[in-house]
Amino acid sequence: MIAIFTLRINYRMNQRLYDYFRKQAETFNANFRKVRENYNTDAVHDMRVAIKRIRAVFRLLPILDPAFGEDLPVEAINRIFKLSGKIRDAQVQQSLMQKMEDLLGTGFGEYYAYLKTTEAAAIKKFGRYASEHRPEDFTADLTDRVALTLAPFTGQQVRNAVTTLTERLKELAKKLKTDQEHDEQMHEIRRLLKQCNYLLSVFRRNDPQLPGLSRILETLEKANNTLGEWHDLVVGMEMLDRYMQKKTFARLNGSERYHLLREAMNQRRHLLHTEAIAMMEEAGF
pLDDT the model gives residue 64: 92
- Write out the chain's pLDDT in tens, 285 residues: 444 444 444 444 467 888 999 999 999 999 999 998 888 899 999 999 999 999 999 999 999 999 887 788 788 889 999 999 999 999 999 999 999 999 999 999 999 999 999 999 999 999 999 999 888 888 878 888 898 888 888 888 888 898 888 888 878 777 766 665 556 777 888 888 888 888 888 877 666 767 666 777 777 777 888 889 999 999 999 999 999 998 778 777 778 899 999 999 999 998 998 888 888 777 666
CATH number for the region 2-282 comes to 1.40.20.10
List the domain boundaries for the chain: 2-282
Whole-structure pTM value: 0.86
**What CA–CA distance (Å, rounded) separates 240 from 224?**
24
Instruction: Quote the Cα angle for 157-161-166, to 5°.
Output: 145
pLDDT for residue 265? 96
* Helical spans, DSSP H, in the chain: 2-12, 15-37, 41-64, 75-104, 109-131, 136-139, 142-150, 155-176, 183-200, 213-244, 247-250, 256-282
- 157-208 pLDDT per residue, tens: 888 898 888 888 878 777 766 665 556 777 888 888 888 888 888 877 666 7
* pLDDT in the model for residue 11: 42
